[in-house]
Amino acid sequence: MLAIVAEVFREHGYEGASLSLIGEATGLGKGSLYHFFPGGKEEMARAVIAHIDGWFEDNVFGPLRDSTDPLAGVERMIEATDSYFRSGRRVCLIGAFALDESRDLFAGQIRSYFGRWVTHLADALARSGHRPGEASELAEEAVAAIQGTLTLARAANDLDVFSRALRRLRMRLGVPAKT
Amino acid sequence: MLAIVAEVFREHGYEGASLSLIGEATGLGKGSLYHFFPGGKEEMARAVIAHIDGWFEDNVFGPLRDSTDPLAGVERMIEATDSYFRSGRRVCLIGAFALDESRDLFAGQIRSYFGRWVTHLADALARSGHRPGEASELAEEAVAAIQGTLTLARAANDLDVFSRALRRLRMRLGVPAKT
DNA sequence: GACTCATTGTACCGATCGGTACAATCTGGG
DNA sequence: CCCAGATTGTACCGATCGGTACAATGAGTC
């Protein structure tokens, strides 16, 4: 349900995702939509962001934080990223929201999401032996690389762009290449 | 004029940039807007993309292509990028268009813009001594880094994110650090 | 001054926007 | 079976959307 709404926002952006599109995609009328989300479109978007945030908490930030082998956590992050973004076919909704005016509405959630991604990754890299400052920079570079690659992959309509980027990412972060 | 319209699209996205917003920003009524752009909003966006593309052709792709010292061309690209994106305060309109549904309308222009950026940078890097395959990968990585950093900088609302990324970029591409 | 043609403001169009109201319907607990 | 509360479809709201029509005005040109 939230996943379907997320897909509509992902495809059309916050402004472009009209209630009729959302209703059509979910099979729900406005009555139901406003029953579950009395706050309307903004509340839907907020719930969708929270849902995505939860997924990343479980599948990305968690492993980064909890893996005893920090590099194994990084590898799990990369695999989760690859599967979530469908090797570049999918776009990062939160990244897209960060770019346009909807940023102002969701600034807190957006900042928190990217902030935690970078700090958890930096922590893992520091535990894997990088100097703290270097770990921070590497983490920031890695998250930016993923976001930028999503843009590039969409622009070029080329799936290889994304897999190449993940390969470079493993190299830069010191994760053994996948066999 | 085109610059003002560009700013509206940049701030609000393609869907969010209404004709009334554009009219307000430019001081032009619908009469004038449709006089100059009979094709309406789509033609405006197309013209804006072409305008930006021209700016990059002159200030980024050109130096990359024509500088006798390829690394000097790369340095000019980095400086032009920093000034164009106002150190991360501004967002890449073409990158934003690549993410949402407006991508379909402008797919050709978007692909061409990013394609030329990557290939011209790859050429310069190859001329500066990198092996061709490595140069391609580096170029792709660099353009993605810039795009992703714009997202991250917007999300964090932190200017330092962008300057750090440019510093790393100089290092990765072998350009002497700015003094 | 008269003619031309580019430019502009304004009124208007049907469609759709996000949101509200509310009656009808479903559904499980007593 | 009945009732309360959750759920739903539908009609409707004012506002705004992108776009059109057109008359008024502007600025040269001869």
Among chain B residues, CA nearest to A7:
B100
Percentage helix, strand, coil, to 5, in chain B? 85, 0, 15
Q: What is the CA radius of gyration of chain B?
A: 17
- A23 falls within a domain: no
Given a cut of 80, whether residue A178 has pLDDT beyond it is no
Residue of B94, B102, B103, B154 to mutate when probing chain A, most A C-beta within 10 A: B154
**Residues B37-84 pLDDT 10s:** 999 999 999 999 999 999 999 999 999 999 999 999 999 999 999 999
Residue of B18, B152, B170, B171 to mutate when probing chain A, most A C-beta within 10 A: B152
- A159 falls within a domain: yes
Among chain B residues, CA nearest to A161:
B140
Stronger pLDDT, A13 or B101, i.e. the higher one: A13
Among chain B residues, CA nearest to A164:
B137
Among chain A residues, CA nearest to B133:
A164
Q: Within 13 Å of residue A95, how many CA atoms lie on the same side as its CB? A: 28
Specify the CATH number for the domain of residue A149: 1.10.357.10
CA–C1' gap, A99 and D30, in angstroms: 55
Cβ A168 vs Cβ A139: under 8 Å: no
Task: Annotate B78-115 with three-state secondary structure.
Answer: HHHHHHHCHHHCCCCHHHHHHHCCHHHHHHHHHHHHHH
> CB–CB of A13 and B147 under 8 A?
no
- A32 falls within a domain: no
Q: What is the pLDDT of residue B179?
A: 64
Mean of per-residue pLDDT scores for chain A: 96
- B41 falls within a domain: no
Q: What residues 48-107 of chain B have any CB closer than 8 A to a CB of chain A?
A: 91, 94-96, 98-101, 103, 107
Any B CB within 8 A of A11 CB: yes
Q: What is the pLDDT of residue B82?
A: 97
Residue of B7, B100, B164 to mutate when probing chain A, most A C-beta within 10 A: B100
The number of distinct structural domains making up chain A is 1
Q: What is the pLDDT of residue A1?
A: 86
> CB–CB of A98 and B155 under 8 A?
yes
Q: What is the pLDDT of residue A179?
A: 63
Q: What is the pLDDT of residue A53?
A: 98
Query: Which residues in B lie closer than 8 A to residue A165 (C-beta atoms)?
Result: 140-141, 144
- Phi and psi, residue B130, nearest 5°: -75, 150
- A122 falls within a domain: yes
Any A CB within 8 A of B16 CB: yes
- A12 falls within a domain: no
Q: How many pairs of residues across A and B have Cβ atoms under 8 Å apart? A: 141
Cβ A103 vs Cβ A16: under 8 Å: no
What is the rounded average pLDDT of the residues B150-155?
97
- B87 falls within a domain: yes
Structural domain boundaries, residue B57? 46-173
Q: What is the pLDDT of residue B1?
A: 85
User: pLDDT confidence of A45, banded at 50, 70, 90?
Assistant: very high
What is the rounded average pLDDT of the residues A94-117?
96
Query: Which residues in B lie closer than 8 A to residue A151 (C-beta atoms)?
Result: 95, 98-99, 144, 147-148, 151
**Residues B119-129 pLDDT 10s:** 999 999 999 99
Mean of per-residue pLDDT scores for chain B: 96
> CB–CB of B147 and A143 under 8 A?
no
> CB–CB of B145 and A140 under 8 A?
no
Distance CA B142, CA A34 (A): 44
Given a cut of 90, whether residue A161 has pLDDT beyond it is yes
**Residues B157-175 pLDDT 10s:** 999 999 999 999 999 999 9
Q: What is the pLDDT of residue B131?
A: 96
Distance CA A136, CA A170 (A): 16
Facing B11 at nearest CB: one of A101, A145, A148 = A101
- B160 falls within a domain: yes
Distance CA A23, CA A5 (A): 9
